[in-house]
């Protein structure tokens, strides 16, 4: 218990990387949520309260309310966070970028293909 946010984020990415690739958007969405919540439950005392609008120190996974279309890519959904975008493709591939476009994480779907954004 007691890791800082940066360390917890790296732990989240490490566990995502090691996990079995997802085969659909819904599986990937669920994988992201479960993995991040496991890390936060393990390393913080902050309860899971996604209804809170203001930051409470806990990291929250993408939610349906944050979904956006991606122009020209009907197979990809973008989930917006304050400072990041999480892309999920219908083959289960995941990509996380910061709002400046820097790629922080990439994981292929079970078919071996990534999100493959331009």
Partner 1 sequence: MASISLMPIETLERSLKERFPDAQVVLDRPRKASGAWFLDIALNQHPVIVQWQQGKEFGVSSSPEKVFGEGADEVYKDEEAAYGRIVSLLLSRTFTSPPPAVSLKELRKENGLSQAEIAEILERQQGEISKIERRKDVLVSTLADYVRAVDGELQIIVRLRDGRIRRVQLEDAVESNPRPAALAR
C-alpha 17/C-alpha 48 separation (Å) is 23
Instruction: Tell me the per-residue interface mask from 31 to 60 with partner 1, x by CB under 8 A, - otherwise.
Output: -----x--------x------xxxxxxxxx
C-alpha 95/C-alpha 98 separation (Å) is 10
Answer yes or no whether residue 103 interacts with partner 1 by CB under 8 A: no
C-alpha 78/C-alpha 98 separation (Å) is 12
Answer yes or no whether residue 80 interacts with partner 1 by CB under 8 A: yes
Q: What is the DSSP string of 56-92?
A: -S------GGGEEEETTEEEEEEEE-SSEEEEEETTS
Instruction: Tell me the per-residue interface mask from 3 to 32 with partner 1, x by CB under 8 A, - otherwise.
Output: --xx--x--x--------------------
Answer yes or no whether residue 88 interacts with partner 1 by CB under 8 A: no
Applying CB under 8 A, the residues found at the interface with partner 1 are: 1-2, 5-6, 9, 12, 36, 45, 52-61, 63-69, 77, 80-84, 96, 98-99
């Amino acid at each position: 218990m007691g890791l800082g946010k940066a360390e917890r984020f790296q732990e989240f990415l490490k566990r995502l990387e090691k996990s079995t690739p997802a085969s659909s958007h819904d599986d990937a969405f669920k994988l992201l949520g479960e993995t991040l919540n496991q890390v936060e439950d393990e390393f913080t005392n902050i309860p899971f309260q996604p209804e809170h609008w203001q930051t409470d120190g806990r990291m929250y996974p993408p939610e349906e309310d944050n979904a956006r279309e991606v122009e020209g890519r009907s197979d990809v959904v973008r989930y917006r966070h304050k400072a990041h975008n999480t892309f999920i493709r219908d083959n289960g591939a995941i990509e996380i970028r910061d709002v400046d476009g820097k790629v922080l994480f990439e994981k292929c779907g079970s078919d071996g293909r990534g999100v493959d954004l331009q």
